[in-house]
């Protein structure tokens, strides 16, 4: 069976296009129900705050992403939106707008879904468990690489697992891609999130699930990453923003691989963020992605990034076993990377050795 793939309905791209956000939202404001702005709290007090097109009755929620999104946080934010709209005598929000990096975009997706679906976000971690369409939701990325702006998942850490809410309803209705908003991202963060995109491409392009659709997007995204991280190119932020989009499109119709499986284990047990966790894991994967790892190290050198080392120093045996469990749940990733008989190649001991080298 071929996947009938849901895409973002509308895309606007260009320097300064953020200024059109008010116009775009105007067509969604059919009643006096509020628009909910979920904005990364890094922008509190920054010029972007004054540019938010808030109208009377709208809700502004500053979200904190020091930790990657948890289901409990999604439940708390959803409850807050419900309480505040109820107190104001309003109905379901007209729109949810997420402004920030992958974490904030994922929080906005999750809240828009949970406003129309009962229970906790943790009940929906998995594939196609969502029953009701979400509230209209829109993303404005301020950090590029994750591809969350185009994906059908919102990656959440729940009580038992780190797993996305994967559904057609998760996909954004609109994205606003304004490269100017990437200005001011700290260099190491820009690199780690950018490498998420690079690694999406390498894992997609060398996987067994590869097809012409994924290859077309993956090759373009890879070429853009090379320009951004190996050359002194003009319009680097414009290119990085489109690399993220294309990289996301590439994995949407294929899959990621070994690096992402290991990185999820690092995230769940040690709280290591996705981008940096990917880089730490990828650096150990010469056996699986020899050319990619070599080029990644050139990018590290060119961008003068020092990767954290010896991260397993304080990890207990129990933690390492849990990391292996979390990594092994992600069966499609292993199958994509290593083929149908991946279990013969990837033993618990092999995964443990890879973790211990990090
Ligand atoms: P992030 O959203 O976690 O943000 C990282 C840091 O950068 C934060 O401190 C944030 O405040 C800061 N930041 C964001 N924009 C900034 C700006 N313009 N200027 C200065 N600082 C800024 O980072 P990320 O790497 O974009 O996202 C990682 C998250 O994305 C993880 O939770 C991961 O699981 C998720 N993810 C989701 C998908 C998906 O398809 N849904 C795919 C890959 C990763
Ligand atoms: Zn990723």
* Domains and their CATH numbers in the chain: 10-182 (3.40.50.1970), 187-356 (1.20.1090.10)
The residue whose CB lies within 8 Å of the most ligand 1 atoms, and thus the one to mutate among 112, 121, 146, is 146
Question: Which residue has its alpha carbon closest to ligand 1 atom 35?
Answer: 102
Output the average pLDDT for the chain: 97
Question: Over the stretch 40-89, which tens digit does the pLDDT of each residue have?
Answer: 999 999 999 999 999 999 999 999 999 999 999 999 999 999 999 999 99
What span, in angstroms and rounded, lies between the C-alpha atoms of 132 and 167?
10
**pLDDT tens per residue, range 115-166:** 999 999 999 999 999 999 999 999 999 999 999 999 999 999 998 888 899 9
The partner residues of 242 in beta bridges, in order of sequence, read none
β-pairing, 137-141 vs 95-100, is parallel
Query: Mean pLDDT over residues 167-179, rounded?
Result: 98
Q: 30 CA to middle of ligand 2, Å?
A: 36
- Mutation to probe ligand 1, out of 41, 98, 100, 268 (largest number of atoms < 8 A from CB): 100
pLDDT at 161: 82
Angle at 130 between CA 114 and CA 154, to 5 degrees: 65
- 128 contacts: CB under 8 Å, gap ≥ 6: 166, 167, 168
Is residue 248 over pLDDT 90? yes
Question: Interior CA angle at 284 toward 282 and 289, to 5°?
Answer: 60
Could you tell me if the CB of 42 is within 6 A of ligand 1?
Answer: yes
What is the signed CA dihedral for 201, 203, 204, 206, rounded to 10 degrees? Answer: 110
Give 231-250 as a DSSP string. Answer: S--TTHHHHHHHHHHHHHHH
pLDDT at 286: 98
Q: Is 189 close to ligand 1, i.e. is its CB under 6 Å away?
A: yes
Range 322-346 average pLDDT: 96
Q: Tell me if 34 CB under 6 Å of ligand 1.
A: no
Q: Computed from CA positions of residues 223, 224, 228, 229, in that sequence, does the dihedral angle turn out positive or negative? A: negative
Phi first, then psi: give them for residue 165, nearest 5 degrees: -90, 100
Residue-level pLDDT at 188: 97
Residues with CB under 5 A from ligand 2 (ion): 196
Task: Write the pLDDT tens digit of every residue in 81-123.
Answer: 999 999 999 999 999 999 999 999 999 999 999 999 999 999 9
Q: Is 107 touching ligand 1 by the criterion CB < 6 Å?
A: no
Strands 137-141 and 10-13: unpaired
pTM for this predicted structure: 0.97
CA-nearest of 225, 235, 106, 231 to 180 is 235
Which neighbouring-strand residues pair with 138?
A: 97, 174
């Amino acid at each position: 069976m071929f996947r009938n793939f849901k895409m973002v309905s509308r895309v606007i791209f260009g320097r300064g296009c953020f200024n059109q956000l008010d116009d775009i939202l105007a067509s969604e404001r059919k009643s006096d129900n509020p628009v909910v702005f979920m904005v990364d709290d890094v922008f509190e007090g920054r010029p972007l705050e004054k540019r938010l097109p808030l109208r009377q009755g709208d809700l502004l929620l500053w979200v904190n992403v020091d930790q990657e999104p948890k289901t409990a946080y999604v439940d708390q934010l959803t409850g807050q939106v419900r309480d505040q709209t109820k107190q104001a005598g309003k109905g379901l929000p007209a729109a949810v707008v997420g402004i920030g990096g992958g974490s904030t975009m994922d929080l906005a997706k999750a809240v828009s879904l949970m406003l129309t679906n009962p229970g906790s976000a943790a009940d929906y971690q998995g594939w196609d468990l969502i029953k009701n369409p979400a509230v209209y939701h829109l993303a404005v990325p301020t950090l590029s690489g994750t591809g969350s702006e185009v994906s059908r998942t919102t990656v959440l850490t729940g009580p038992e697992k780190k797993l996305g809410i994967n559904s057609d309803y998760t996909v954004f209705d609109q994205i606003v891609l304004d490269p100017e908003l990437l200005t001011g991202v700290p260099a190491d963060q820009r690199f780690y999130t950018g490498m998420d995109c690079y690694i999406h491409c390498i894992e997609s392009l060398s996987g067994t699930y590869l097809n012409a659709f994924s290859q077309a997007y993956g090759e373009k995204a890879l070429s853009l990453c090379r320009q951004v991280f190996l050359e002194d190119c003009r319009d680097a932020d414009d290119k990085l923003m489109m690399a993220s989009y294309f990289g996301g499109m590439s994995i949407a119709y294929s899959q990621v691989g070994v690096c992402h499986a290991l990185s999820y284990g690092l995230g769940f047990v040690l709280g290591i963020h996705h981008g940096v966790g990917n880089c730490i894991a990828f650096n150990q994967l010469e056996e699986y992605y020899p050319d990619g790892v070599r080029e990644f190290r050139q990018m590290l050198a060119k961008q003068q990034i020092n990767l954290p080392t010896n991260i397993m120093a304080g990890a207990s045996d129990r933690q390492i076993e849990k990391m292996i469990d979390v990594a092994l749940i992600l069966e499609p990733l292993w199958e994509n990377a290593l083929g149908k008989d991946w279990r013969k190649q990837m033993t618990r001991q092999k995964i443990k050795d890879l973790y211990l080298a990090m």
